[in-house]
Amino acid sequence: MIYLDYNATTPIDRDVAEAMIPYIYGNYGNPSSSHELGAITKSAVEYARGQVAYLLNCSPEEIIFTSGGSESNNTVIKGVAFTYKNKGNHIITSQIEHPAVINPCNYLKKQGYEISYLPVDKYGIVNIAELEKRITDRTILVTIMHSNNETGTLQPIDKIAEICRIRNVLLHTDASQSVGKVPIDVKELGVDFLTVAGHKLYAPKGIGALYIKKGLKIEPLVHGAGHECGQRAGTENIIFDVALGKACAIAKQALKNDDVKHLTEYFYKKLKGKLGEKVQLNGHPEKRLPNTLNVSFIGLNGHEVLHNLRDVAASTGSACHAGLTSISPVLQAMGVSDEVGRGAIRFSLGRYTTKEEIDTVLENLYKVVVD
């Protein structure tokens, strides 16, 4: 199997797995305990917190560990809604967000909150002018993803932050797909909250983090004892906290390597050179994640192309029911036609992708698409 679905999930890095082992077999103390075993695990959790903070350029006390991206997003969206309900009930998001943002917003809409869904242009970039128009004195939160999981398009979060700062509105960005792939500096971005998902950067599934800017306090999603600075109750998942910390430390060094970017560019250049107008890039040609290639094979069905490729793991993003294929809501929001959208496939490369694998996929794609 040639794995080109790194945006869906990544394998656990071997060094990350090694870092977990001492906390699986020996260091099992509760970090809240005052004895030596507790002190060892407490130290491990705080060291991991520092590793996450270092990657994001923030203070360790601004990081709370969660179970993943969905929990982090829910914590922010619902937490801000409940904490600032006396100020307002209006939240702004975009039409192309992950369900972990869209569905909490839809939930709040049922509770009487007003939700605005910003349109995007043909590249999938949020309309800044529309954002400025939609903000009112009742707006309490703007939540816009840092990069799109399907197309890889990067959003101008720093510009959005300037608008939010002037209007005194909190800003959250879901950076689940971005952390570890492009440099993320919360100070440069100007965000108040930022989501991290461990299994997108070679840590296990079931671990994530949330950056909460110093001085902000929101209603917790999980109530109980005062873990995670009172923001998330529950005995710490030491094994996975350590894993995420190690993954972030590795990511900090890996960001200096452009191999994945060059391999993705090579992949598209070869595709375009051979297939020409039969293939179309979806998303921004430059403002994009270095590992993500979403392309449409014009006149073909993405599901069928993938099926005929065999032994290649990738994603279409479209839904297929009773033989009918509906295009991805993300591509739909970008104004991509049904004919083009039905042929879309997302190839997402990663740390272990080789040129030999890409050449094999290209050879098979030519046969499937041309023949």
CA-CA-CA-CA torsion sign (8, 260, 52, 170): negative
CA-CA-CA-CA torsion sign (119, 349, 9, 310): positive
Residue 324: the pLDDT is 53
Residues 6+ apart with CB under 8 A from 102: 93
Tell me the DSSP string of 64-111.
EEESSHHHHHHHHHHHHHHHTTTT--EEEEETT--HHHHHHHHHHHHT
The residue behind tokens 């191999």 is: 259
Q: Are 44 and 23 in contact (CB under 8 A)?
A: yes
Say whether 320 is catalytic: yes
Q: Is 346 helix (H, G, I), strand (E, B) or coil?
A: strand
Which residue of the set 58, 105, 164, 320 is catalytic? 320
What CATH number should be reported for the domain whose range is 257-370? 3.90.1150.10
Residue 235: the pLDDT is 85
Element (H, E) at 326: strand 324-326
Q: Are 337 and 103 in contact (CB under 8 A)?
A: no
pLDDT tens digit string along 270-322? 999 999 999 999 999 999 999 999 999 999 999 999 999 989 999 987 554 44
Q: Residue 107 and residue 113: Cα distance in Å, rounded?
A: 9
Residue 320: the pLDDT is 44
Q: Are 302 and 343 in contact (CB under 8 A)?
A: yes
Mean pLDDT of 29-50: 92
What distances in angstroms separate CA 169 from CA 80, 132, 139, 200, one per listed residue? Answer: 11, 11, 7, 29
pLDDT tens digit string along 348-359? 999 999 999 999
In the 8-state DSSP scheme, what is residue 328?
Answer: P
Residue ranges of the chain assigned to CATH 3.40.640.10? 14-254
Percent with pLDDT over 90 in the chain? 88
CATH 3.40.640.10 fits 14-254, yes or no: yes
In the 8-state DSSP scheme, what is residue 313?
Answer: E
Residue ranges of the chain assigned to CATH 3.90.1150.10? 257-370
Give φ, ψ of 348 to 5 degrees.
-120, 120
pLDDT tens digit string along 97-148? 999 999 999 999 999 999 999 999 999 999 999 999 999 999 999 999 999 9
